[in-house]
Amino acid sequence: MVGIDIFAGAGGMSLGAQWAGIKMLAAIEADQHAAKTYKMNHRDIVVINSKIEDIDSVDFQWTEELILFGGPPCQGFSTSNQRTRTPQNECNWLYQEYVRVCRMLEPDWIVLENVKGILETEGGAFLRRIIAAFKRLGYKTDTWVLNAADFGIPQVRTRLFVVGAKKHPLPKAPISPNSGRVTVREALADLPVLHNGSNTCSRAYRCDPQSPFAEAMRNGLKTSCNHLVTRSADHIIERYEKIPSGGNWEDIPRRLMRTYTDIDRCHTGIYRRLEWDKPSVVIGNFRKNMLIHPSQNRGLSVREAARLQSFPDSFRFTGSIGFQQQQVGNAVPPLLAAAVFRQLIKA
């Protein structure tokens, strides 16, 4: 089976596809920084740095069964963006480009990934449109809602997958191996101690791997990259100091939150300190949400966030720290993608 990844980002789904045994043909990604990261880590794959709307043909050939996969931008369906969960958000309609490319390539299999919030946006109307569009192209579809934490990923992150096939029976959704959830401690304890604003990319590990997960992510490496931390102002660090394990902005004294015009409208997800002995909360826009290290008074490093997404330490992110953070936060956890693709290969 061969694959083409559209809306590819840095390549989380492609990495999972390769782990499952799929040979990647090409990836399409509009953002130049994400496309550069993809190419650095997938050197043998054709990377097309272009808007999907501008793609009207492809120059490569294949003889094996083709799987087309990708995740159209999901901000318009996210439950954290209530003001944009409407038909007026242009991003909500990019699934039509996925359908157009599907019509052009006629793949044997399709996998469309998005946030669970698409089930709720406009009463589920967008998801019904997506399924109807694939049906008109001759695809049977099923919808899977999977939690990354159930598949060996140290993060509670629920994602939706629309899986479709033309000729084959649809597989059942993957089942959790029930091997226990990976905690933040098991994921991060061997990574180096960092300071606020740390900007030394490559560093040695703090200690030996503290879990099978960390050992797998390191895979024998002695050093790793992307140990970059946003420099937070002193008053932000003062707020961090007040937040206990598992706490959030509500633990910060009101006198330290005077810069907020309406503090009572703060989202519960901001200023969240991760807990050592539980999986992480969602790693989305972790800089904007100001997710806090479990024991150090600083934000998460790019590498720490990548670990919580199940990117191996050999995977390098490029661009400024802001672009790296965006690439990590937007990605589909590779281990979750691998679980999905293995079900298709079984079928």
User: Of residues 74, 102, 201, 266, which has the active-site annotation?
Assistant: 74
Backbone angles phi, psi at 328, to 5 degrees: -65, -50
| Residues 311, 68, 129: CA angle, nearest 5 degrees | 110
Terminal alpha carbon distance of the chain:
12
Burial of 109 per CB tally in 10 Å (0-12, 13-18, 19+): buried
Own/partner pairs for 237-241, CB < 8 Å, 24+ apart?
A: 237/196, 237/297, 237/298, 239/271, 240/271, 240/273, 240/292, 240/297, 240/298, 241/297
Three-state DSSP class for residue 312 = coil
**How far apart (Å, rounded) are the C-alpha atoms in residues 168 and 148?**
26
Backbone angles phi, psi at 176, to 5 degrees: -60, 135
Question: Look-up: residue for tokens 């946006």?
Answer: 121
Q: How far is CA 4 from CA 31, 36, 166, 235, in A?
A: 17, 17, 17, 46
- Annotation says 74 is catalytic: yes
Label residue 246 left, alpha or beta by phi (over 0 means left) and psi (-120 to 50 means alpha). Answer: left
- Of 178, 147, 177, nearest to 161 by C-alpha is 147
Q: Which residues contact 170 (CB under 8 A, 6 or more apart)?
A: 140, 141, 142, 163, 164, 347
- Of 260, 202, 250, 251, nearest to 226 by C-alpha is 202
* Range list of H helices, the chain: 12-20, 32-41, 95-105, 125-136, 184-188, 212-218, 234-241, 302-308, 321-330, 334-346
Active-site residues: which are they?
A: 74
